[in-house]
Amino acid sequence: FFFANATMSGGPRIIVCIRKRPLNRKEAANGDHDTIQPTGSAGGLMVLEPRVKYDLTKYTEKWPFTFDLYMHEQTSNVDVYNKAVYGLLETALAGGNATCFAYGQTGSGKTHTMMGSGSEKGSGIYVMAARDLFDRLDFNQHTVQVSLFEIYAGKLYDLLNKRKKVFAMADEKNNVVINGLSERAVSDVNKLMSLMEKGSAERATGTTAANQDSSRSHGILQITIRSVKNDKQYGKLSFIDLAGSERGADTAHCDRQTRMEGADINKSLLALKECIRALALGSKHIPFRGSKLTSVLKDSFTGKSRAVMIACVSPSSSNCEHTLNTLRYAYRVKELKEPNGVKEVPDAPGPMQKPPERPQNLQDAQQGRPPYPSQPQYPPPCPPQPHPQHDPDQLPQPVPAPVGKKKRARAKPRPQWDDNFTAEPDGPWDGPPPAGAGPE
């Protein structure tokens, strides 16, 4: 839909899509209502947030958003794949790196979009992409290898090898290589689905206030196309099921480990947003070192790469705050995708007036030219006048300092002992002389 007619040298490098899930039975039983409505523009939607004033008066606040594509609750996984993801297959077959992200709060439908469930079990996005890839790929010239791993608490674990810990390192060309990651050769969809079921059972999950079965790690599926001649990578197709975004209040009543997991998830999601924004702007520097997630996905943001971000939202009024956080996150990614990198601010004031010209040099200022043409001319200030009672000529003049070298005063001599001195205040002294007073 978006990438069908785009070549590697032209067309959008990233698109942002919104997928709305329907209300479930629990939300309907609690009396929640739908808060997301489409607008007339393509890709536009509006969130009707229920609010309460200080005087307990209820009102509704409207939040409009516009994205590349908006898919309502009746949209199936097949429609999502045909409209947003199918073009990524063209990028991978052309020798590029294609990446698809699923972002949203816990329970918003990310795993259903990627893997399929319920009536659409087995019809996830990655299954349909693999099926088309196997149909169009010439296995006489290329092979397909699959790897599945997760990023949990800043560490990598191989989900196809009993959750073995692996490490991300850089080779001599500064490319990130996951040391110890197992790759399985596949040639049909059935084998791929069996590998996914095996790896999904090893993925870390937990319980929070927002979801009873919350994904606590980022699951990454990489389908690599390699050349038969030299076994080098030709193209790659990556599908990333991100961990559910959550607030600190969702893990406030959980243990310390759960709170640390939530902090690490939010840190990696923030780093991912910055990388996607840099990709959309065509920046020379992409901050892929912000987290382990972006460091591993470095090749997804450099070179011949394209990406699709699918933000899954819940229409329930009880999850309206989570929905707004997801939409704001996605909009920060999308808002920089203006022509020539120019961002339009909707609430900005009118155009600024050209400031008046200032004097070019000191000579113009001394000639009386005002610094602003529109500034009124005031008379020059009067010089300071002395007070009539204090004539400067009659004021006492300071005493000048003496000229010349000042003589140093001589020290007074100490008194000397007199041997002939006798003290006779009341008569002669009859006692013995004091010690050291003189000869006996």
| DSSP 8-state secondary structure symbol assigned to residue 369 | -
pLDDT digits over 159-190, tens only? 998 889 999 888 877 788 888 899 999 988 88
| Predicted pLDDT of residue 7 | 44
| Predicted pLDDT of residue 346 | 36
105 has binding-site annotation: yes
385 has binding-site annotation: no
Placement of tokens 């010690």 in the chain: 435
The strand pair at 36-38 and 44-52 is best described as antiparallel
Taking only the tens of pLDDT, the chain with its 440 residues reads 455 444 444 567 788 999 999 988 888 888 899 999 998 777 899 999 999 988 889 999 999 999 999 999 989 899 999 999 998 998 999 989 999 988 888 888 888 888 776 555 557 898 899 899 999 988 889 999 999 999 888 889 999 988 899 998 888 777 888 888 999 999 888 888 888 888 888 876 655 545 555 567 888 999 999 998 888 889 999 998 888 766 555 555 566 777 777 778 888 888 888 887 776 677 778 888 888 888 888 877 777 888 898 999 999 998 898 899 899 888 877 764 444 443 333 333 333 344 445 444 555 545 555 554 444 555 566 666 655 555 556 556 666 666 666 666 666 676 666 666 555 555 555 666 666 555 54
Characterise 180 by phi-psi region: left (phi > 0), alpha (psi -120 to 50), beta (else).
left
205 has binding-site annotation: no
Homologous superfamily, domain 14-335: Kinesin motor domain (3.40.850.10)
The answer to whether residues 198 and 208 touch, using CB atoms and an 8 Å cutoff, is: no
pLDDT digits over 145-156, tens only? 999 999 888 889
110 has binding-site annotation: yes
At a CB cut-off of 8 Å and minimum separation 6, what does 366 contact?
none
- Rg (the chain; Cα; Å): 40
CA–CA distance, 224 with 394 (Å, rounded to integer): 99
φ/ψ of residue 286, rounded to 5? -115, 120
The answer to whether residues 108 and 21 touch, using CB atoms and an 8 Å cutoff, is: yes
The strand pair at 14-20 and 305-313 is best described as parallel
| DSSP 8-state secondary structure symbol assigned to residue 140 | T
354 has binding-site annotation: no
Please list, residue by residue across 257-285, b when 16 or more beta carbons sit within 10 angstroms of its beta carbon and e when fewer do.
Answer: ebbebbebbeebbebbbbbbbbbbeeeee
The answer to whether residues 156 and 246 touch, using CB atoms and an 8 Å cutoff, is: no
| DSSP 8-state secondary structure symbol assigned to residue 84 | I
The share of the chain scoring above pLDDT 70, in percent, equals 66
Placement of tokens 């790196």 in the chain: 97
Domain boundaries defined on the chain: 14-335
The answer to whether residues 327 and 313 touch, using CB atoms and an 8 Å cutoff, is: yes
The answer to whether residues 87 and 6 touch, using CB atoms and an 8 Å cutoff, is: yes
Number of helices (H), then strands (E), in the chain: 10, 16
At a CB cut-off of 8 Å and minimum separation 6, what does 426 contact?
none
Going from the C-alpha of 47 to that of each of 37, 38, 66, 183, 187, the distances in angstroms are: 7, 9, 11, 43, 44
416 has binding-site annotation: no
